[in-house]
Amino acid sequence: MAPVEFTVSGGEGSPLEFVAALFSSHSLLVLTDPGGWAQVSQGLAVGSAASTLVSTRVRDLRFAVVDLRHFPSASDLPSLSDVPGDVVALHDTRSWDTTPVVQALRGLGRPVVLFTAAHTWVSGVDPSTVLMGWSAPHVVLATPLGVGEGRVEDVVWQFRERERRGMVTYTALPSPPAPVEDRAVTVMVALPGATEGIAGSLRPGSDYEVWVHVGAHPDPLPGDLELRAVLSMSGREVQVEPFVLPAEGSSPWVSFPVTTPYAAVPWSGEVLIYRGVVPVHVRQVVLPVGAGESRAVVRHQLSRTFADLEALSGRVASIMVVGQRALVAAGGPVPAWISLDGVEPPSVSGLDPWYGKDFPSFCADLASLAVRGAALRERLGVAIRRGGVITVIGETSVPWALVYDLPFVDGPYRVCASVARFGPFGAGGAVPADCPEPDHSGNVLCPFGFWGLSSVLEQPAGPLAWQVSPQPRPVEVTVAVDPSLDRTLIQRHVSELMSFLSPESVSSAYVSPSALVGALEEERADVAHLVYDSLEAASVEGWRERPLVVTTFPAVHLAFGNVVCPLVAVDQGMAGWVSGMLLARLAEGMPAGEALRQTRWEMLGRGNVMGLAYSLHAGADLRLR
């Protein structure tokens, strides 16, 4: 190959910081930096590949590391398919031509950082390549104008000549993302007609006003936002007041008249801010009747700035859970409270070795769930349109996917023809938005009656995330496995997972429950798949980019962010089959809510109703890319 010309610029920082800034837009970075290689290869054993995490000002960067000098030829290299990394770090060797290895990795969509000597010619450079050297105090950055070969010392010489003539341009590192400032929501108590709030205790049996205010924020909104303030105090009717949050500035104060109880007790309730039917900010309020001070504690928030709420305007209903009761909003003027006492997760009988059942057993399980689901639907007291997204806020073990919106009681029932079509041994095919059968009179069993099959359910635990990672690289899945589980079943589990995903995108490791949180703090994969029977309550504080966590056990008690998990223990052998179907859809770019709904239908086609026991503790619109 012939040498190519370059566009040359300089920048202030370390070479690895520029690697962190440029790897997402360039597939090859040629680097002369012995100190950087020492940092990247720390702890690397001779003749092996490893994964290491390096922190920079730009971001934490995970490298899959191989020293090519340790191997006599390309055929002796270890596989990198199970070594996770944002980029592959290679140290060049003079013993054999490394160009095919570099090009093969680039062809797989894995960016390469090639550490080499300044005077070494590197073949196969092109406009998606950056050559990086050092000319104190600047990092030299050079991009080829064509395809050919180049070496770093020529780039540095050209930079110094241009610097001497005052012709150099400079490239700045991107600033670290600024911490997101929460938009303030203020709750105060005032006397009727007053212009200022009051502090201290309230008189029993007296009239007051509760004021609610959404404050200004440095970042303007896309446009004016129509919201609703809701006040629900214990023993009183729910009150609703609409208001507008302007694109810039704060909202007007919204006031609610209240009369305190005659007893001197702490009086509690909730203040909620709704976007459409979804409560995006929930505060528990305690008003001190007789003695004490007012308190308002954030219970839930789905947005920190209120700037990302537009997608929520299309939700069809919400359920805000507080202990054993829930506030239901479904488009009516005022949300209503319901009781959740006695609602338990589902239980079904065993499955056959292929994770399904025969038709009669399948119908019996589905009918048993429909009886419980219809009873839960009666508690809701409102009709909710099928086909949209239903939002559930608050910690709950209620199986919302099992809500059955057709009348159904225990006893003889008629099987809808859609069961035969989409259930076990049915013709299958694309599932329509609604049941294709027009007659649902009487005690009829229809899969489209279940929320989990007719609608998309989301149960976010905190501020909504819309994307796991913006990086264009292939999706990466890390499987963490409890060493105490059956090894044969684990091998089958991982094999089934790889039958749905490309093997090079999946890495796995045995990690004890006690070491899992520490291991996850350094994880940078898009999906963390946890194969355990159970885990103690835990949270991961070190995640900068939180992955989607898919578990094989009930995990609503874990503070892991975005989670897909069952409400009941799932057979270990079946877990890989379920997670594989789900992850394959996510890797194709499907949003998480729809991916789980379609996975439920695919399980149903095998005579398996356990998909209705899975829940999405994240936003329905969350995508991996």
In this structure, the number of other CB atoms found within 10 A of the CB of residue 469 comes to 20
Closest-CA residue to 544 (of 470, 454, 595, 619): 470
Q: Left if phi > 0, otherwise alpha if psi is -120 to 50, otherwise beta: which for 177?
A: beta
- Look at the block and give the residue holding tokens 């089934």: 496
* Cβ(75)–Cβ(91) below 8 Å: no
Tokens of 237: 């009717």
Q: Name the one residue in this structure whose structure tokens are 């004016």.
A: 224
Q: 61 pLDDT exceeds 90?
A: no
| Cβ–Cβ < 8 Å for 275, 243 | no
Contacts of 566 (CB under 8 A, 6+ apart): 551, 552, 553, 554, 610, 613, 614, 615
Beta-carbon contacts of 138 under 8 Å, excluding residues fewer than 6 positions away, are 10, 11, 12, 159, 170
Joined together, the tokens standing for residue 89 give 């770090």
Task: Report the alpha-carbon distance of residue 68 to residue 46 in Å, rounded.
Answer: 10
For residue 438, the one-letter residue type is P
- Residue 326 CA, chain-centre distance (Å), reads 25
Query: For 84-121, how does the pLDDT look when each residue is reduced to its tens digit (9 = 90+)?
Result: 888 999 999 999 999 999 999 988 888 999 999 999 99
DSSP output for 45-59: PTT-EEEEEEE-SS-
pLDDT > 70 in the chain, percent:
96
In whole angstroms, what is the distance from residue 114 CA to residue 109 CA? Answer: 15
**pTM, full prediction:** 0.74
Cα gap 391→385, rounded to integer Å: 13
Tokens of 122: 């590197």
Mean local confidence (pLDDT), 419-440: 85
Compute the distance between CA of residue 522 and CA of residue 51 in angstroms, rounded to an integer: 11
Q: Write the DSSP assignment of 263-311 as a string of letters.
A: S-SEEEEEEEEEETTEEEEEEEEEEEBSSS--EEEEEEES-SSSTT-GG
- Taking residues 40-55, what's their average pLDDT? 89
233-258 per-residue burial string, b: 16 or more CB within 10 A, e: under 16: beeeebbbeebebeeeeebebbbbeb
- Cβ contact 531:493 at 8 Å: yes
Residue keyed to tokens 């949270």: 539
**pLDDT band at residue 177 using 50, 70 and 90 as cut-offs:** low
- What is residue 578's three-state secondary structure? helix
Contact 551, 565 (CB under 8 A): yes
Model pLDDT for residues 578-615, shown as the tens digit of each residue: 888 898 898 888 999 999 999 999 999 988 898 998 99
**Contact present, 535 and 563 (Cβ < 8 Å):** no
Q: How many CA within 13 A on the CB side of residue 350?
A: 4
pLDDT in tens, 456-513: 999 998 888 888 877 666 788 888 888 888 888 888 888 888 887 787 788 888 888 8
Quick: pLDDT tens for 63-81.
999 999 999 999 999 888 7
CA 136 vs CA 13, 38, 133: distances in Å: 11, 20, 10
d(CA 480, CA 550): 10
- Quote the DSSP letter at residue 461: S
Q: What is the pLDDT of residue 544?
A: 58
C-alpha span between 291 and 546 (Å, rounded): 43
Question: Do 467 and 625 touch, CB atoms closer than 8 A?
Answer: yes
Helix pair 572-587, 487-500: axis angle to 10 deg: 20
Q: Quick check: 538 pLDDT over 70?
A: no
Residue 120, Cβ neighbours under 10 Å: how many? 15
Q: Give dist(CA 367, CA 373) in Å, integer.
A: 10
User: To the nearest whole number, what is the mean pLDDT of the chain?
Assistant: 88
Quick one: which of 146, 184, 138 has its CA closest to 162?
138
Predicted confidence (pLDDT) at residue 254 exceeds the cutoff of 90: yes
